[in-house]
């Protein structure tokens, strides 16, 4: 534009030496030319603005998880969470923004978070393994129910006072949390009625929902590490970590398919005269199928847990070869103290009962509930080694351990 101004000035000097008629003709041409140049410049600026507004995204590949998506742009990402709790038709959009990034003015979102996050509060032990795998556990500043955390690495941070106790998940101590001023709170919800999260958001601290627990596919649940990674600018690292978990899981599944026999199994435990066990379409039951075992209640479908009478289970499953996830008991004597009727089960008589309650952290947290969702490959290998010990003869189980005598 500066050169155009010079040309116009020179032209005006030249016009002073011409007749009025000639001046008029030349001025008309100059005005037309200047208008065209100005129009072209405006169109170019408009095109550039439009390019910023509709710039192409780089979608992060999500193979198994159904509950979220991530699109990465220049300087920001859009994370969407679909149906964050059972029965929800809510879609949530989170805008993750790098410092000084230019964001389209017409972008709509529910929460905005500056990334990479430097201080974070999470609310489920299932979030801890993802932080550790991404090597960002030191950024965790608060958690509700510290005793439930099993990981030795994170417990060191707790013991050194670097992670604050926030009370109970259903009733988070908002005063302590607000004093921490985390960049984001990563929570989960059983339903849409969570006044605590609403109050936290009113203080200006963004709250986002991690719905990993809603996923039914074991690999889909593990893939939520990519969701967590987006807040730390580590989606590439998360993809590498997940690819290894996926590879190990599929290799184990393929190995299980070579087994010559398929044992009958039951699961769950008694509570107040009712036997609670996973539905046949649940996350837990999926492992039984992948480990090439016949779960006797595989035809059932539903959410939550299947509830049956003791008599019903005894009639159907007393000859089951294995009993998996037998509740909080640690030994056969403890199991039979709860009910002598358990002795009627073949799995009890032959001592083929396995529990996840034997592997706990120093303050009583059960490792399976914390690490299991992130490491389905380890769960599957555990079960294969139990059902088909000849396939993994030297394998040391991580979560499922036989009851003690």
* Tens-place pLDDT, residues 284-300: 999 999 999 999 999 99
Q: Judging by beta carbons within 10 Å of its beta carbon (0-12, 13-18, 19+), is residue 203 exposed, middle or buried?
A: exposed
Select from 190, 221, 246 the last residue of a domain. Answer: 246
> How many Å apart are CA 235 and CA 73, to the nearest integer?
13
In a domain, 197, yes or no: yes
Same domain? 230 vs 323: no
Average pLDDT over residues 249-266: 97
Say if residue 305 is in the same domain as residue 326: yes
CATH number at residue 193: 3.40.50.1980
- Greatest distance between any 2 Cα atoms in the chain: 120
Instruction: Using DSSP, state whether 230 is helix, strand or coil.
Output: helix
Start-to-end CA span in the chain (Å)? 89
Both 136 and 224 in one domain: the answer is yes
Domain assignment present for residue 252? The answer is no
Q: Is residue 251 part of a domain?
A: no
Residue 113, domain member (yes or no): yes
Binning pLDDT at 50, 70 and 90, where does residue 32 land? low
CB crowding 225-247: b at 16 or more within 10 Å, else e: bbbbbbbbbbbebbbebbeebbe
Instruction: Assess whether pLDDT exceeds 60 at residue 158.
Output: yes
State the pLDDT at residue 303.
80
| Count of the separate structural domains present in the chain | 3
Helix (H) or strand (E) holding 405: none
Shared-domain flag, residues 276 and 334: yes
Q: Is the pLDDT of residue 40 over 50?
A: no
Task: Supply the pLDDT for residue 3.
Answer: 45
12, pLDDT greater than 80: no
- On whether both 188 and 237 belong to a single domain, the answer is yes
**What's the domain range around 20?**
2-53
**Across the chain, what does the average pLDDT equal?**
88
- 35 and 150 in one domain? no
Q: Looking at the domain assignment, is residue 76 inside a domain?
A: yes
Q: In the structure, what pLDDT confidence band is assigned to residue 191 with cuts at 50, 70 and 90?
A: confident
Residue 250 exposure: Cα atoms within 13 Å on the Cβ side: 8
**Is residue 106 located within the same domain as residue 137?**
yes
% of the chain with per-residue pLDDT over 70: 86
pTM here is 0.85
Helix, strand, or coil (residue 277): strand
Residues 11, 91 share a domain? no
Provide the pLDDT for residue 89. Answer: 85
Domain boundary among 13, 36, 53: 53
Do 301 and 152 lie in a common domain? no
pLDDT digits (tens, 9 = 90+) for 311-337: 999 999 999 999 998 888 899 999 999
Q: Is residue 189 part of a domain?
A: yes
pLDDT for 269 beyond 80? yes
Q: Is the dihedral of CA 137, 139, 143, 147 positive or negative?
A: positive
Tell me the sheet residues that pair with 185.
121, 207
Whether residue 214 is found in the same domain as residue 267: no
Q: In the listed set 184, 211, 246, which residue is the last one of a domain according to the structure?
A: 246
- Please check whether residues 241 and 312 belong to one and the same domain: no
| Claim to verify: residue 328 and residue 188 sit in the same structural domain | no
């Amino acid at each position: 534009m500066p050169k155009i101004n010079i040309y116009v000035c020179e032209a005006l000097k030249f016009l002073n030496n011409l007749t009025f008629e000639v001046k008029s003709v030349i001025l008309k041409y100059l005005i037309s030319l200047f208008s065209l140049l100005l129009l072209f410049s405006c169109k170019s600026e408009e095109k550039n603005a439009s390019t910023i507004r509709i710039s192409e995204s780089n979608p992060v590949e999500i193979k198994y998880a159904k509950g979220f998506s991530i699109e990465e742009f220049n300087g920001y990402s859009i994370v969407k969470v679909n149906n964050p709790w059972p029965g929800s038709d809510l879609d949530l959009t989170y805008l993750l923004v790098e410092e000084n990034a230019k964001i389209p003015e017409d972008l709509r979102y529910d929460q905005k978070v500056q990334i990479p996050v430097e201080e974070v509060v999470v609310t489920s032990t299932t979030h801890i393994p993802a932080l550790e795998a991404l090597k960002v556990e030191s950024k965790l500043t608060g958690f509700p129910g510290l005793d439930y955390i099993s990981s030795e690495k994170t417990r060191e941070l707790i013991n050194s006072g670097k992670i604050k106790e926030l009370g109970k998940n259903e009733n988070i101590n908002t005063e302590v949390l607000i004093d921490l001023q985390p960049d984001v709170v990563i929570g989960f919800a059983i339903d849409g009625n969570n006044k605590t999260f609403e109050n936290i958001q009113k203080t200006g601290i963004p709250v986002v929902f991690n719905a990993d627990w809603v996923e039914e596919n074991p690999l889909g649940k593990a893939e939520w590490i990519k969701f967590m990674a987006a807040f730390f600018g580590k989606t590439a690292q998360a993809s590498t970590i997940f690819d290894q978990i996926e590879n190990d899981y599929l290799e184990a599944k393929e190995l299980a398919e070579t087994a010559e026999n398929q044992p009958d199994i039951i699961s769950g435990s008694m509570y107040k005269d009712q036997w609670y066990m996973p539905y046949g379409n649940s996350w837990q039951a999926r492992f039984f199928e992948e480990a090439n075992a016949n779960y006797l209640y595989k035809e059932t479908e539903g959410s939550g847990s299947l509830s049956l009478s003791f008599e019903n289970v005894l009639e159907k499953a007393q000859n089951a070869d294995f009993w998996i996830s037998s509740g909080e008991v640690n030994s056969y004597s403890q199991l039979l103290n709860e009910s002598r009727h358990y002795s009627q089960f073949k799995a009890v008589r032959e001592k083929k009962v396995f529990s996840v309650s034997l592997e706990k952290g120093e303050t009583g947290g059960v490792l399976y509930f914390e690490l299991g969702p992130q490491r389905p490959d380890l769960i599957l290998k555990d079960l294969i080694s139990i059902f088909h010990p000849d396939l993994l003869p030297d394998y040391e189980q991580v979560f499922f351990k036989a009851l003690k005598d």
